[in-house]
Each structure stands twice: as structure tokens, then as C-alpha cells.
């Protein structure tokens, strides 16, 4: 007969251990930006989602990390723009200045196609 009780996981851990797990996850996530790598040996992905939903402090720290990466990417993009990098300029304009006409449109026009073939005399094909 199977044991009845609470499943293993953070519910069975002391609060100080959960706090350390959260800190370790955030540190690893900050370094890798990969949840799967950051949770190794700490907890499950479901636990992370529960923490994000139920712990506002953890949630804020998690999204601060994500925002920091976006800020860094924007800085790098602006550095490339300032250096005259065509692709960076093009990306920026198509992403942020479409109201000024900088956009990529794909127009696909198809014309009806007529296929003709010759059926040899005496053939069963019609």
C-alpha cells in the first residue's frame, strides 16, 4: 500500500532552506538566464512557478534579472548603432520607427498557373 502524506519538495523544507534555494536559483538564473540549468539540484520548474506566483519579493527579483538583460541588450544595440552598423540601424528602425515608414512588408502575389500537357493518341488518359 502506498504511503499517504505530503509529497516531497519545498513544502517539507524548513523556511531557511527554501530561502537559500530561492537565492541560489536567482544567482544561477542571473548567470545563465536558463530556468532548466538554474533549477538543477534545487527544485522543480513547478516550484519556481509557484514561487513566482506566491512570493512577490522573489517575483520582483526574477523580473529585475530579466529587465537587466534587456537593458544590456539595448545598450549593446545602441553601441552598434553609434558605430554605424547597418544591420543594427535597420533592426532598430523597423522595430521602433514603423510609423515613419520603416517596416518590412512581405507581399506575395500569385498568378493562376495554366498547365498544358499533350496526351499521345491511343492513350487511356484524357
pLDDT digits (tens, 9 = 90+) for 74-95: 999 999 999 999 999 999 999 8
Residue 8 is predicted with a pLDDT of 46
Residue 2, domain member (yes or no)? no
Residue 47, domain member (yes or no)? yes
Spatial distance between the Cα atoms of 57 and 21, rounded to a whole number of angstroms: 14
Residue 48, domain member (yes or no)? yes
Q: Work out how many domains the chain is built from and give that number.
A: 1
Residue 105, domain member (yes or no)? no
Residue 111, domain member (yes or no)? no
Residue pointed to by grid coordinates 544567482: 27
Examine the pLDDT at 45 and tell me if it is beyond 60.
Answer: yes
Residue 88, domain member (yes or no)? yes
- Kindly state the helix (H) or strand (E) to which residue 75 belongs, with its residue range: helix 56-82
Say which residue, 2 or 39, is predicted with more confidence: 39
Q: How far apart are the first and last CA of the chain?
A: 73
Residue 115, domain member (yes or no)? no
Rg (CA), the chain: 28
Enclosing domain of residue 58: 10-100
Residue 14, domain member (yes or no)? yes
Q: Is the Cβ–Cβ distance between 47 and 9 less than 8 Å?
A: yes
Amino acid at each position: 500500500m502506498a504511503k499517504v502524506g505530503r509529497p516531497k519538495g519545498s513544502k517539507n523544507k524548513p523556511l531557511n532552506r527554501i530561502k537559500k534555494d530561492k537565492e541560489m536559483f536567482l544567482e544561477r538564473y542571473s548567470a545563465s538566464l536558463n530556468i532548466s540549468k538554474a533549477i538543477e539540484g534545487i527544485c522543480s520548474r513547478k516550484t519556481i512557478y509557484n514561487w513566482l506566483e506566491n512570493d512577490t519579493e522573489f517575483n520582483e527579483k526574477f523580473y529585475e534579472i530579466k529587465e537587466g538583460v534587456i537593458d544590456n541588450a539595448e545598450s549593446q544595440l545602441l553601441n552598434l548603432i553609434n558605430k554605424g552598423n547597418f544591420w543594427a540601424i535597420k533592426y532598430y528602425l523597423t522595430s521602433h520607427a514603423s510609423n515613419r515608414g520603416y517596416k518590412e512588408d512581405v507581399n506575395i502575389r500569385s498568378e493562376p498557373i495554366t498547365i498544358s500537357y499533350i496526351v499521345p493518341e491511343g492513350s487511356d488518359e484524357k
